[in-house]
Chain A
């Protein structure tokens, strides 16, 4: 009898046990906090992969953080922001392999925000579904296209074609794969680029070009505006006409768009493996020129996309290729306008020289440099004004093992005729690791980060107009962030120290946080989220990538004694 009673009691307890509810996955899995924050114009996006969401943090009047969440796909792969900081792109690989109807396909989630209010725009988020997963994303700086590709790193699925690219037309809504050719093209479209053993490593979007170049060469040919996608694989360069990437094929089994052009870098008779690098595009619309060089080789490749007699789906342009030996392996190239016309400028550190290459004839002009500079960027509009017919470049030596110190301005206005007078050196006693652009209204400034350990943590604020380079001393090698409004910069050391440097005074304001800083974002507060009397204000969000993510928020404009800590940002209930 006792046994029977105990059995009944056990049954009762078992029923109660069954009614227990275990922890959801949201709580049981730890939050990933490394590499999950992305700066936007008016907020910070935090990807919470476990909960399949992205949390947008925006500033409030009292240095708090407001948050809003948006669903994203399963298994976060990568994210990117648009150049204006108003659009967030999140790529997810979905559930691989797809086994049930509830499993999710790979997708790109696009979230666009309004400029001042930072509210999500109507019709967003948009979800573009893909057939196969890709891990990396390249965003068109002009905002028209995005391209997904596998790129370097682990494959997103058990078996994957690394040469597949997925082209998204961001100006159109997502569209499924049609069942007949009379229907509209899908969005996105997938294609596998021709491969001779290489896989895409680097993607570059061209500005708008009028192609084919030199249409007068071929009767009946008319140039039209094109956007190109230039794909550097580890063996060759492919050129995809993005403007015609969604053209309907003649047969539904064929891929959409015109076939790509592949520029092979090896002849097929040797065993040398050449990888393209440093690809640049001539910004002049009508020129249709591309240049690049290869690792371990002294040639500069110059291409002009001239008319072709082919008909669609082949391209109406074809590359006319010039190879020019510049004497040694170049470290950087750039299309420049000189007093003698368009040239490809190539820096050759081994010769402590720059070579100016005439792209059509391969005639070269050597310009001796005072130091073996290895990097350059165009600063023409700042130094000579936007209407200047000739370019000015900033030269520096990048990398911790760089043998040159300081920077130089190279005026191309007399580079060919009087090369010895074209270089102006600004002496800085440390190799430069990176040159950071400052947006308008202080675009005459460049911030020069010195190599770690070689400049005692100094960095320099270079004024290209005044030709001054103001050093800022720090006690350690800092990380630098330029405010998007171009009025200030931030230096931090991934410890607890932080400093604001106003570009007007160059006077550092030291600050400190209670928790270690992983990254900082200078963001605009949404309209209505500013202290009374201030129509516009900004917040500095110093991310602490520990636990479930924290942040210390400062008033970016007047940061002293304004710090507020927001802790456990991803811990709130699901």
Chain B
């Protein structure tokens, strides 16, 4: 798993490097000195209605993302639920830039990933659904109109629900619980439009891609039928071993900043 992650990070770094290597764009004519606005410090106070000036505000203050996350799980406990070890998820995230200094900035927000996987396990229908709620902590390095690279840590919690429908059981065998989860990733956000109005506070569209490693605490998959309350049946479930939703992942997303 290390190799693919390394390659992915190299790829995202290549994005950044190529952004730096772009030929310089023709400079916009500066306004006359007497019309020049007061010089602003590079560190800005962020607000909803920043004045039109020479400050690069392309990252925006707020950011909303909608994307697709694919995780590669090598845990033996995941095999009953997937025929290829892949876990697809939908990602929704929102963040706000809290700090900016030169090309560097820091943003924080929340992210929600939701996905599921189905497979046939020894002839039974098996499914695993995951909901992951994390707090994102993101450091960004801006490259002007070419977007920015970022490193993201996202601690949080994941709710896993495993279910197997075995005809020998009176009810489907299930187990669900919340577990500690963390993602570490690196990525690149590419500014699509508009790219050149660096100071304008306006909605901007981004495409971004990241790769990283997702970690969810292990759990023992002791599945049991969900009997109705008050049932006097004595039913022994089945132990599928340990499930650890851990492994490399990628995420591609579209984002809007404003």
**Nearest A residue to B15, CB-CB:** A5
What does the 1/0 interface line of B5-22 toward A look like (CB < 8 Å)?
Answer: 101101110110010001
| Shortest Cβ distance from residue B206 to the other chain A in the assembled complex, whole angstroms | 15
Within 8 A of B (CB), among A547-568: 547-550, 563-568
How many chain B residues touch A (Cβ–Cβ < 8 Å)? 54
CA–CA, A26 and B5, complex, Å: 29
- Taken together as a complex, chains A and B put the C-alpha atoms of A546 and B11 apart, in Å, by 50
Interface residue A4 (Cβ < 8 Å from any Cβ of B): yes
CA distance A564 to B239 in the complex (A): 17
Q: State which of A24, A50, A548 has its C-beta within 8 Å of the C-beta of B166.
A: A548
Give Cα distance in the complex from A191 to B83, angstroms: 46
Given contacts A22-B84, A24-B79, A573-B77, contact A16 B241 (CB under 8 A): no
Contact status A544-B168, CB under 8 Å: yes
B34-42, B48-56, B118-126: which one contacts chain A? B118-126
- B15 and A567 contacting across the interface, CB-CB below 8 Å: no
A13 interface residue per 8 A CB criterion: yes
Are B124's CB and A23's CB within 8 A?
A: no
When A5-B18, A24-B79, A569-B168 are in contact, do A19 and B234 touch as well, CB less than 8 Å? no
Residue A514 CB within 8 A of the other chain: yes
A567 and B85 in contact (CB under 8 A), knowing A28-B120, A550-B169?
Answer: no
Contact partners of A573 in chain B: CB under 8 A: 76-77, 80, 221, 239-241
A20 and B84 within 8 A (CB): yes
**Contacts of B122 on A, CB cut-off 8 Å?**
26-27, 29-31, 50, 548, 570-571
B232 to chain A, nearest CB (A): 9
Contacts of A549 in B (CB 8 A): 168
B53 to A: closest C-beta gap in Å: 31
Partner of A12, one of B4, B74, B121, B169: B4
Partner of A9, one of B70, B209, B223, B233: B209
Tell whether B194 is near chain A: CB-to-CB under 8 Å. Answer: no
Contact at B235–A571, with CB atoms within 8 Å?
Answer: no
A63 lies within 8 A of chain B by Cβ: yes
Given the complex, which residues of A lie within 8 Å of B47, measured CB to CB?
none
Scan A350-363; emit 1 where CB is below 8 A from any B CB, else 0: 00000000000000
Minimum CB–CB distance for A415 against chain B, Å: 53
Instruction: For A571, list chain B residues within 8 Å (CB).
Output: 80, 121-122, 124, 164, 166, 238, 240
Binding site secondary structure of chain B = mixed
Query: How distant is B65 from chain A, measured CB to nearest CB, in Å?
Result: 17
- Which A residues are CB-close (under 8 A) to B240? 571-573
Q: Does A154 belong to the interface (CB within 8 Å)?
A: no
Contacts across chains A and B counted by CB atoms under 8 Å: 163
Q: Is B139 at the interface (CB under 8 A from chain A)?
A: no
A1 at the interface (CB under 8 A from B): yes
Which parts of A35-86 form the interface with B (CB within 8 Å)? 50, 63-65
Cβ contacts A474-502/B at 8 Å (1 or 0 each): 00000000000000000000000000000
Given A565-B233, A565-B235, A567-B235, A4 and B250 contact (CB-CB distance below 8 Å): no
Per-position binary interface string of chain B over residues 235-246, scored 1 when its CB falls under 8 Å from any chain A CB and 0 otherwise: 111111100000
C-alpha spacing A549/B235, complex, angstroms: 14
Give Cα distance in the complex from A563 to B231, angstroms: 13
Q: Which residues of A are found within 8 Å of B76, using beta-carbon distances?
A: 573-574
Q: Does A123 contact B (CB under 8 A)?
A: no
Which of chain B's residues have a CB closer than 8 A to the CB of A547?
A: 123-124, 166-169
A515 & B85 in contact (Cβ 8 Å cutoff):
no
Residue A217 interfacial (CB < 8 Å): no
Does the CB pair B86–A20 fall under 8 Å? Answer: yes
Q: A360 → chain B, closest Cβ, in Å?
A: 59
B3 at interface, CB cutoff 8 A? yes
B60 at interface, CB cutoff 8 A? no
Q: List 17 A-B contacts (CB under 8 A).
A: A1-B18, A8-B10, A16-B70, A19-B72, A20-B84, A20-B86, A23-B82, A23-B119, A29-B123, A30-B120, A546-B168, A548-B123, A566-B236, A568-B238, A571-B80, A572-B239, A572-B241
Besides the contacts A20-B84, A548-B168, what 5 more A-B pairs have beta carbons closer than 8 Å? A15-B8, A19-B4, A565-B235, A568-B223, A574-B76
